[in-house]
Amino acid sequence: MNATTPEFETDCRLHLDRFFAAHPDATMEKRAHKALRLLRASEKPIKGKAEGWAAGIVYAVGTYDRPPVGVPNVLNSEFEKLMGVSMGTARNRAAAVREFMTL
């Protein structure tokens, strides 16, 4: 799926909403939605599944002001299960997300 499509944004938003329903954090959620808007507005084509990008967004904003060793207060195994992707995918997508945004 391409990030420049409305379906990508909708799917990604659903994954983000599911994560923040399970792990509420208003600041992190605000940053995540900002990151999604920046990805959506990008002219650079972004390929991949929405769940991978949503996981990358959460990982990127969760590690914004701390070492990138995982999403705060969430076990890696729980994060993988909730987001439907491996931690490797989340880390790779987070690196790409960081290139698109300034938090």
Say whether pLDDT at 59 is over 50.
yes
pLDDT of residue 58: 96
Residues 71/30, Cβ–Cβ less than 8 Å:
no
pLDDT of residue 3: 55
pLDDT of residue 26: 95
Residue 50 lies in a domain: yes
Say whether pLDDT at 8 is over 60.
yes
Residue 73 lies in a domain: yes
Residue 102, phi-psi category: left (phi > 0), alpha (psi -120 to 50), beta (remainder): beta
pLDDT of residue 70: 81
- Residues with Cβ within 8 Å of 35's Cβ and at least 6 positions away in sequence, in order, are 57, 60, 61, 97, 100, 101, 103
- The residue with greater pLDDT, 7 or 33, is 33
Q: How many domains does the chain contain in total? A: 1
Residues 83/19, Cβ–Cβ less than 8 Å:
yes
Residue 68 lies in a domain: yes
Residue 1 lies in a domain: no
The 10s digit of each residue's pLDDT in 76-89 is: 999 999 999 999 99
* Structural domain of 81: 6-100
